[in-house]
Structure 1
Amino acid sequence: MSAPGQGNTYLEKVVAEQAVLEDDLRARRSPAMAPGTAAAGPQAPGPLAKRERALGGAAPSGDRSAPGPVDVRISGFWRWRNVLVPPNAFVVHTRRGRAEPLHIGLGVSFRFNPSTDSFLVVPGATQTILINAYCICRELQGVLVQGYVQWIIQDFGIAYRKLDFGDADDPMRLVNIQLREQAEAAIKDKVSTMGVRDVLSDKQPIIEELTARLRAVAEGQHEDGQGDEGLGLRIVTVQIKEAVVSSSRLWENLQKPYRAEQGQIARLADLEAEEAVAHREMAAARIKETQRLEHERELAELRARNESQLFDTEAAEKLRRTRREHDDTREVAELETETTRHTLRMERERHEEEAETGRLRIERDNELARLRMEGELALAESRARSRHEQALLELEREGARAAIENDRTPAAVQARLIAALPEIMARLPKPDELRTVTVNGADQTSVAGLITQLAAVVGALRAATGGPEGSGGSG
């Protein structure tokens, strides 16, 4: 912000930026060179120039394209020509003698007869209008309100009848100028009823008023609910970008209360901070001095307590040592007496233990001798009883054997011998030669005869194996 008496540099900067933005938003195209013309020759841009050139028939046949906001191509020659319209452009095609257009719409291409037909091509893209409204507010102060309006063609059938799109370079120029004038008038009317502070702080009432008026004009929508077909346009958006006070002195005066208030708040904050720091420093010094005095008092009390405790400790130590010496002397005497008593008691107990051990040893020896004698007597008795029982068993066995031998018949003895022969033959060694033994004078059917025969067989076998005994016989 500049000082009082100087120009409003901020306002100048905003205006300059607005002009640059307007220039950037304006579409530019380099003019196309027609075949057979010089580079410096004048060119007729735009769709209307193309139409007039087509009507005049001076242009050669083939594709033609002239500079302008819409790139329309015209092909063919004389009465058989084709107009090719881009898909993002509105076109209306009329013919002599017809009340209604032949073709109307977005991106419609058609056949064209220069002698009877005419057409108009308009861009269909969204248009942006930049607004700089120099207003007078309720306090009779100058305010610059900057904003923009975006609009688009909604019904081209209505728009081409009510609006002028005849500018060859910019068909939208006149429409944009008209809408800009409407918007500036609406902003000025609204700002004239508002204060400077309201304009700078709240821009929503301006946006609402501007939107309502533009829609009433472009779309035919009124506040009372009644409407007409309007201009065939649709308002896309309305925005207020900036509101600047024209007078630099007024702008500074508007800022002074807030700046003074903020300065006062800052100064009071500094004073409060300084006061708080001073109070804290004084409190800290007081606390520090109090802590120092308390520390010195505690040290003095601690020293006195330590000296008293030291004196009490020394006196108690002296008394303890004296008592300990007396106690040690008495304990030593008592210990010596107790040691003597313990030694005598141990001697007496040892003698008693030795006497008891001797008595127990004698009793044990006597008991062992008695037990040994009883054991020997019991052993002798058991041996005698065992021999007696064994003798009885032998007698009984001999009697039973004799009874068996007496009761055995020669046929039974012979059957037993025959049954035992395989076992006897299996245990006998294999003979190297076979001999036959004949026993003469013995009854072979009796037991004695069989025993005699067996004895002869056994003797023959022993003789064959080299035994010391043999049995006589012939073979």
Structure 2
Amino acid sequence: MTSPERNAYLDQVISQQSQLEQDLRVKKPAAAPARSAGGGGGGGDDTSGRARRAAADTAMTPPTAVDVRVTGVGPWKTVLVPPNAFVVHTRRGHAQPLHLGLGVSFRYRSRTDSYLVVPGTMQTILLNAFCICRELQGVLVQAYVQWIVQDIATAYRKLDFGDASDPMRLVNLQLKEQAEAAIKDKVATMSVHEVLSDKQPIIEELTARLRGVAEGADDSDHGLGLRIVTVQIKEAVVTSARLWENLQKPFRSEQSQLARLAELGAQEIVTGRELAADRLDQLQRLENDRELTDLRARNAAAAFDRDAAEKLRRGEREQTDARALATETTETTLHSLRLEQQRHELEAEAGRLRLELEQTLQRLKLDHELAVAQARADTGHATALLELERERMSREIANDRSPAAVQAELIANLPQIVAKLPKPDELRTVNLSGSDPTSLAGIVTELTAAITAIRAAVTSRE
């Protein structure tokens, strides 16, 4: 049956402690199921057999708190230890461990060897100590202790790390029991107010006891090979809801009294200020009525004076406007005359400039035509000179040719000359043996004789 009086703060503290314990637990992923060795390949080779034996050994290995990997097959196994874990490796027939230290990997013989792996990381113990104080009242003290393994050579001999899934479980339980006993012994000598207000004596007592057990006194060999890192008190809560309320009542009553007095003082000040404000409002209204009467009279007199002054000002303004209008009309007429005169002057200047521009254009046109004619004459003269020079040079070239060049040119043109000759009706032979065919004169003589014979033949035929 649930009690109607419950300490809500105590329930909240306990639930937070439970959640913290769950968060501190190491969550390991589920081991993958071993695959079947009877696959679809050749089942009789040595490689498949070794793979099946390795899978069987892996499947038989129980889950551990430290991620230790065992590789190899049969007697050729190797244990791979992570760098943050202590290992103790022993072998049958050896009094001392073969390997002892942090993060040491080694070869392993399953028939003669044994090894122990202990986490080297810091461990946290959460404490919920239900204590009885000096007034015989129940007090819940929440604390935590953090420790690490300092000397694995001492620790593995004196402590039980045999649980592969959680090697630190038994050690944490033993230290937890000792810590709770120390807290209860210290709280029993203190009052409720001392426990709730000053937790340092509890921390000092708990630290001294745990270090005496874990580390040993005066650096002797009586310790467990552990080192206490820190001891802290998180909460101290009275378990009785009624006593918890009674402990809070004096402070709450004092604060309620101060709040009520402050409220009354504020109410008194507000009431006084409201009365003063009401009186001031009445006086202000009377003063406002008197000032309004005086103001109405002054406003009426000022309105009469303003109307008279406005009439006088309007008359003066009409006269001033009439004079200003006449002056402005005169100035406008004079300005129009000046503008008309300036326009005539600008038109005359524009005509003069237009005439000068036309004359300039005509001169430029004549100059251009003269320049074009001169350029054409110069060009024709230069062309004629070039033609004369070219004819002269052609004559010089023709005169400077050698007889051999003339003969070569004549021989090159003979086919054309023969092609243009008429077709003979009869064949006549002309003997040209009397001349020298190697000289130009001989060639010309022969050609002349041939042409004369051809002309005679043509004439006789006609």
Q: Which residue number in structure 2 is paired with residue 145 of structure 1?
A: 141
Q: Which residue number in structure 1 is paired with residue 210 of structure 2?
A: 214
**What CA deviation, in whole Å up to 9, does each residue of 1:286-313 have, x standing for no partner?**
666777899999999x99xx9xxxxxxx
Cα distance in 1 for partners of 2:8, 2:292 equals 75
Three-state SS of the structure 2 residue aligned to 1:60 is: helix
Report the TM-score when normalising by structure 1: 0.52
The equivalent position to 1:264 in structure 2, one of 257, 261, 282, is: 257
Cα distance in 2 for partners of 1:202, 1:32 equals 52
Identity rate of aligned residues, in percent? Answer: 66
Q: Which residue number in structure 1 is paired with residue 77 of structure 2?
A: 81
Cα distance in 2 for partners of 1:277, 1:177 equals 65
Do the aligned residues in 1 keep the contact of 2:63 with 2:164 (CA within 8 Å)?
Answer: no
Structure 2 vs 1, CA of residues 168 and 298 (structure 1 numbering), >3 Å: closer, same or farther? closer
One-letter code of the match for 1:277? Answer: V
Q: Does 1:242 align with 2:238?
A: no
Superposed, 1:130-279 pairs within 5 Å as: 130-220=126-216, 222=217, 226-229=218-221, 230-279=223-272
One-letter code of the match for 1:250? Answer: L
Q: Which residue number in structure 1 is paired with residue 452 of structure 2?
A: none
Cα distance in 1 for partners of 2:149, 2:93 equals 27
Cα distance in 2 for partners of 1:136, 1:4 equals 21
Superposed CA RMSD: 3.2
Q: Which residue number in structure 1 is paired with residue 22 of structure 2?
A: 23
Do the aligned residues in 2 keep the contact of 1:32 with 1:66 (CA within 8 Å)?
Answer: no
Q: How many residues align?
A: 277
Alpha-carbon offset, residue 73 of structure 1: 2.0
Q: Which residue number in structure 1 is paired with residue 444 of structure 2?
A: none
Q: Which residue number in structure 2 is paired with residue 116 of structure 1?
A: 112
Do the aligned residues in 2 keep the contact of 1:31 with 1:66 (CA within 8 Å)?
Answer: no
One-letter code of the match for 2:14? Answer: V
Three-state SS of the structure 2 residue aligned to 1:7 is: coil
Alpha-carbon offset, residue 61 of structure 1: 4.2
Q: Which residue number in structure 1 is paired with residue 10 of structure 2?
A: 11
Cα distance in 2 for partners of 1:244, 1:155 equals 37
Cα distance in 2 for partners of 1:270, 1:79 equals 87
Do the aligned residues in 2 keep the contact of 1:139 with 1:195 (CA within 8 Å)?
Answer: yes
Cα distance in 2 for partners of 1:32, 1:231 equals 37
Alpha-carbon offset, residue 97 of structure 1: 2.7
Do the aligned residues in 1 keep the contact of 2:129 with 2:140 (CA within 8 Å)?
Answer: yes
Q: Which residue number in structure 2 is paired with residue 96 of structure 1?
A: 92
**What CA deviation, in whole Å up to 9, does each residue of 1:201-260 have, x standing for no partner?**
22222222222221222122x5xxx34242111122222222111111111111111111
Do the aligned residues in 2 keep the contact of 1:147 with 1:239 (CA within 8 Å)?
Answer: yes
Flag the structure with larger Rg: 1
**What CA deviation, in whole Å up to 9, does each residue of 1:53-88 have, x standing for no partner?**
xxxxxx934773541101222233443322211111
Segment of structure 1 superposing worse, 99-108 or 23-32:
23-32
Segment of structure 1 superposing worse, 282-291 or 151-160:
282-291
Cα distance in 2 for partners of 1:203, 1:212 equals 15
Cα distance in 1 for partners of 2:113, 2:292 equals 119
Q: Which consecutive residues of structure 1, in runs of 5 or more, have no partner in the other structure?
A: 38-58, 307-475
One-letter code of the match for 2:220? Answer: D
Do the aligned residues in 2 keep the contact of 1:199 with 1:243 (CA within 8 Å)?
Answer: yes
Cα distance in 2 for partners of 1:228, 1:60 equals 48
Cα distance in 2 for partners of 1:198, 1:109 equals 52
**What CA deviation, in whole Å up to 9, does each residue of 1:383-407 have, x standing for no partner?**
xxxxxxxxxxxxxxxxxxxxxxxxx
**What CA deviation, in whole Å up to 9, does each residue of 1:366-389 have, x standing for no partner?**
xxxxxxxxxxxxxxxxxxxxxxxx
One-letter code of the match for 1:118? Answer: S
Alpha-carbon offset, residue 127 of structure 1: 0.9
Cα distance in 2 for partners of 1:96, 1:216 equals 35
Structure 2 vs 1, CA of residues 199 and 239 (structure 1 numbering), >3 Å: closer, same or farther? same
Cα distance in 1 for partners of 2:112, 2:136 equals 59
Structure 2 vs 1, CA of residues 119 and 83 (structure 1 numbering), >3 Å: closer, same or farther? same
Three-state SS of the structure 2 residue aligned to 1:91 is: strand
Superposed, 1:226-375 pairs within 5 Å as: 226-229=218-221, 230-284=223-277
One-letter code of the match for 1:173? Answer: R
Alpha-carbon offset, residue 134 of structure 1: 0.4
One-letter code of the match for 1:179? Answer: L
The equivalent position to 2:102 in structure 1, one of 93, 96, 106, is: 106
Do the aligned residues in 2 keep the contact of 1:66 with 1:72 (CA within 8 Å)?
Answer: no
**What CA deviation, in whole Å up to 9, does each residue of 1:162-198 have, x standing for no partner?**
1110112211000000111111111111211222122
Q: Which consecutive residues of structure 2, in runs of 5 or more, have no partner in the other structure?
A: 38-51, 299-462
Report the TM-score when normalising by structure 2: 0.54
Cα distance in 1 for partners of 2:189, 2:174 equals 24
Cα distance in 2 for partners of 1:251, 1:265 equals 22
Do the aligned residues in 2 keep the contact of 1:4 with 1:248 (CA within 8 Å)?
Answer: no
Cα distance in 2 for partners of 1:34, 1:133 equals 45
